[in-house]
Structure 1
């Protein structure tokens, strides 16, 4: 949630932010009214409590003749205090509801418009040309024995899949590459839970208008995460962090689940838009004054990862109307998909300022030792399924083989190519001895 003082002092800016998102700016007025009602309720309850305390003292000093009247007044005040405290609780709840309904304030410089209005900041790498008919990633994956959509659907339904053979080995190789690069950059690796409590999901802004995207386990009142951002943010809820040595950074690995509601007909073929995938997510806690610079660092690490995979891409600045509830600014990296002849989102990074930390009560101590609300940022280092799809397409060869970028080779047996029918034992990675033959 956004700083309530900021809303009181700059209501017009917050209304403008809501309009830029295509959201309801009357929510700002509803929040201001709820805030005024709550402060009035608190003031009334405080006044009555003071009067009750004075009446209690008066009872002790009252004469025998005056005592009954004083007692009667104290009793009446006690009842009024009870009613006032109930009104205070109701006003608190109404304020929280109004506060949670408001999205983060859009950062200065974010492009106006909606989904189609993102601004391209730069394009990196040459779009490949092929002297043979281009295959899509599913056709290549089936030739390699790497992707099995038919059996995925048989077991789990549409938009589920098996990664098999070299596909599974590619997943492990990408995970190793992503985590090793993140650790080298100073991130702490985390294997994060894929099920979280409602307060973690709400605190990161994934309920409300986004709840149709979320899978819920109703019996246990838990949610399946769509990104490990949820669990990583929730790790430190209700804590005071030590950020004196710089941002606290995590690289979280988890399975992710998305209902993809409303996306029917979009990328239904293959593993670009699926209900389940694995992902390495970067997450940072830092002082708010450092958030913009940290955002650019996350973007740089994402770009370096895609460069290591030899994937052509472009960086886009997402328009205000396409931002998630928590994000004040978001950059996407879109990689080239030859079968579609266009760039498609592969990673993203968002600056959530203090929005999530305020909801989750995550603070830090400043140089004077005072507690302040932290800023949170997130960035996808590797969404594995989409990255595999892009790798197979960009690096395809006419004979159905796929070029392996040098950065991935240490985890794929040093091989330069993945070829149909190749021995999996040869691709399983370095330093893994073959098991001894069984003896009788």
Structure 2
């Protein structure tokens, strides 16, 4: 949720942000009107309640013969206070609904537009060249007996898979490598719940435009998370935390679930876009003044992982219309996938400023002693999809795959993944 004071005092700034996102600026006018109605309703309630308190004292001091008439007036006043309280509650709910339709305020410099309007910030590494026809990751995975989509579909349906043998070891190795680096950077590891309550899912902003991608269990009123970011953000909900000595950082390890609604026919082959995968997510709570610097640090840790794995990649500044409601800026890191002759997103990192913290009521104490929302940031440090780029980039003509040197200790020293004879 955006800052109500900013909405009230600088609605034009909020409108510009909406326009950059390609969304309606009229939502801002509606929210401003709802805020005015909310404040008026609260003032009316507080005025009547003060009048009621003063009248109660008058009744207590009144002579006995006057009390009967005054009590009747007090009862009428009590009903008026009750009605005013109800009106204030409704006005508060109407404002909350209106303001939650507005995305986070986009940070200056984020490009306008949609999915194709990103700006490339850097390109790193050499695009691999082969003296043979490269295989795609699924063909390699089947040669290694590492990926089994057929049985995944048999058991669970389309876009499910088994990672088997070296495939399972490769994913676990990636996750452990990422966790070791997160620990070195001061992150506390968490294995998070993958089912969360509606108020937590809504608080992180995932029930907006992308709600159709979220699995929901209506009888239990629980959502399956598509990223441990949700549970990590909810960890300190309704709390005042201390970030005076620097950020509080968590590394969340979890299985993730996404329905991939609206992606029919897109990346249906292999494990690029599946319904279930594993992920190690960095998450930071920090003083808002330090959020942009922390965003650069998260990006640097992601780049170090990709460079250690010998992957060619680029970093893009995602356009405002492709940010999602919570992010004020998002960097995507896309690795080169040889058989697609294209860069594909492997990881991203988002600066959500105070948007999620306002919705989840996560605060810190400022130097003045008052409380204010913290900033939250997130970024993926390892996930199942990375296997795609690793297999394709490091493949050899005979179907074997060279294990990146930095990853070998996590595979028991294994240097080459060899095809399995059948």
The answer as to whether partners of 2:335 and 2:345 remain within 8 angstroms in 1 is yes
Structure 1 consecutive aligned stretches of length 4 or more whose deviation exceeds 4 Å: none
The answer as to whether partners of 1:159 and 1:273 remain within 8 angstroms in 2 is yes
Match of residue 241 from structure 2:
241
**Inter-partner Cα distance in structure 1 for 2:411 and 2:86:** 64
Segment drifting more, 346-355 vs 245-254: 245-254
**Inter-partner Cα distance in structure 2 for 1:23 and 1:321:** 8
**Inter-partner Cα distance in structure 1 for 2:172 and 2:216:** 28
Match of residue 387 from structure 1:
386
The answer as to whether partners of 1:204 and 1:326 remain within 8 angstroms in 2 is yes
**Inter-partner Cα distance in structure 1 for 2:67 and 2:354:** 55
**Inter-partner Cα distance in structure 2 for 1:86 and 1:225:** 35
Match of residue 398 from structure 1:
397
**Inter-partner Cα distance in structure 2 for 1:255 and 1:160:** 13
- Alignment pair present for 1:364 and 2:371: no
Match of residue 288 from structure 2:
288
1:65 Cα deviation after fit = 4.9
Match of residue 39 from structure 1:
39
- Alignment pair present for 1:260 and 2:260: yes
Any idea what SS the aligned residue of 1:116 has?
Answer: coil
**Inter-partner Cα distance in structure 1 for 2:161 and 2:59:** 76
Match of residue 428 from structure 1:
none
Match of residue 16 from structure 1:
16
Give the alignment's TM-score, normalised by structure 1.
0.94
The answer as to whether partners of 2:191 and 2:254 remain within 8 angstroms in 1 is yes
The answer as to whether partners of 1:55 and 1:73 remain within 8 angstroms in 2 is no
The answer as to whether partners of 2:334 and 2:344 remain within 8 angstroms in 1 is yes
Segment drifting more, 318-327 vs 238-247: 238-247
Match of residue 410 from structure 1:
409
5+ residue gaps in structure 2?
none
Any idea what SS the aligned residue of 1:330 has?
Answer: strand
The answer as to whether partners of 2:208 and 2:325 remain within 8 angstroms in 1 is no
**Inter-partner Cα distance in structure 1 for 2:311 and 2:200:** 34
- Alignment pair present for 1:218 and 2:208: no
Match of residue 54 from structure 2:
54
Q: Deviations over 1:84-126 (max 9, x none)?
A: 1111111111111112111100100001111001000010000
Q: Deviations over 1:210-252 (max 9, x none)?
A: 2101001112111110000000111111111111221111111
**Inter-partner Cα distance in structure 2 for 1:209 and 1:12:** 23
Match of residue 333 from structure 2:
333
5+ residue gaps in structure 1?
423-440
Size of the aligned set, in residue pairs, is 421
**Inter-partner Cα distance in structure 2 for 1:219 and 1:302:** 38
Match of residue 166 from structure 1:
166
Match of residue 147 from structure 1:
147
Match of residue 113 from structure 2:
113
**Inter-partner Cα distance in structure 2 for 1:67 and 1:338:** 89
1:263 Cα deviation after fit = 0.6
1:162 Cα deviation after fit = 0.3
1:21 Cα deviation after fit = 0.7
**Inter-partner Cα distance in structure 2 for 1:335 and 1:407:** 17
Any idea what SS the aligned residue of 1:5 has?
Answer: helix
Match of residue 277 from structure 1:
277
Segment drifting more, 3-12 vs 24-33: 24-33
**Inter-partner Cα distance in structure 2 for 1:215 and 1:413:** 37
The answer as to whether partners of 1:332 and 1:347 remain within 8 angstroms in 2 is yes
The answer as to whether partners of 2:237 and 2:362 remain within 8 angstroms in 1 is yes
How much is the aligned-residue C-alpha RMSD, in angstroms? 1.2
**Inter-partner Cα distance in structure 1 for 2:119 and 2:59:** 72
Q: Deviations over 1:321-345 (max 9, x none)?
A: 1111000000000000001000000
1:64 Cα deviation after fit = 4.8
**Inter-partner Cα distance in structure 2 for 1:149 and 1:78:** 67
Residues 87, 254 of structure 1: alpha-carbon distance in 2 compared, 3 angstrom cutoff: same
1:359 Cα deviation after fit = 0.7
**Inter-partner Cα distance in structure 2 for 1:120 and 1:13:** 26
Residues 366, 61 of structure 1: alpha-carbon distance in 2 compared, 3 angstrom cutoff: closer
Any idea what SS the aligned residue of 1:324 has?
Answer: coil
